[in-house]
């Protein structure tokens, strides 16, 4: 199991046994959770990007995506595909996702959405996307949101803003609606 899952189960066991929350301050809990989330997100993205590149490199090498880990002071991840970047960067206890396009030697940056961390009443941290209020974990964030960049580049996020909130019954309709 991943470290974040172990912490979640430990928290549930503590609550089931009637123990109170440990003396950690909310800031400490959020910082630890943020670091774990970003670590898992980086690992998941790296695995997905590597496999994606293996599949497209022979037929369309220009579609290959490069992944970079961003450092201090604003840690995060950057995906680069041609002249487009997807940047996931920390901003306090929020992950900011933005698209950067290079046009005529200038960068144009557009905020796509944010992912916010919240401490729920049980003392666990939940992650929620700002634009559609969906709860996510690193895998869901990659599969439902960030993975679109590998397929459609920056256009995925321009189309995403025009799409209504996705519901399970609309999956087939949405996937055909956003195809190029």
Residues 50-66 have pLDDT tens digits of 999 999 999 999 999 99
Low-confidence ranges of the chain (pLDDT < 70): 2-4, 20-24, 159-180
- The closest alpha carbon to 145, from 88, 82, 102, belongs to 88
pTM above 0.85, yes or no: no
H or E element at residue 123? none
Annotate 52-87 with b (16+ C-beta within 10 A) or e (fewer).
Answer: bbeebeeeeeebbbebeebeeeebbbebbbeebbbb
> Which of 86, 105, 90 has its CA nearest to residue 151?
86
């Amino acid at each position: 199991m991943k470290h974040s899952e172990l912490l979640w189960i430990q928290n549930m066991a503590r609550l089931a046994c009637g123990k109170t929350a440990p003396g950690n301050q909310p800031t400490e809990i959020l910082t630890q959770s943020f670091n774990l989330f970003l670590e898992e997100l980086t690992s998941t993205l790296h695995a997905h990007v590597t496999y994606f590149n293996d599949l497209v490199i022979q037929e369309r090498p220009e579609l290959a995506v490069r992944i970079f880990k961003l450092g201090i002071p604003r840690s995060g991840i950057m995906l680069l595909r041609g002249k487009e970047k997807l940047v996931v960067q920390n901003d306090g206890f929020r992950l900011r996702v933005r698209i950067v396009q290079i046009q005529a030697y200038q960068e144009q940056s557009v905020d796509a959405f944010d992912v916010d961390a919240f401490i729920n009443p049980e003392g666990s941290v939940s992650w929620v996307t700002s634009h559609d209020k969906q709860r996510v974990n690193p895998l869901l964030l990659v599969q439902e949101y960030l993975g679109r960049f590998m397929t459609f580049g920056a256009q995925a996020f321009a189309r995403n803003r025009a799409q209504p909130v996705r519901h399970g019954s609309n999956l087939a309709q949405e996937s055909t609606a956003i195809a190029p």
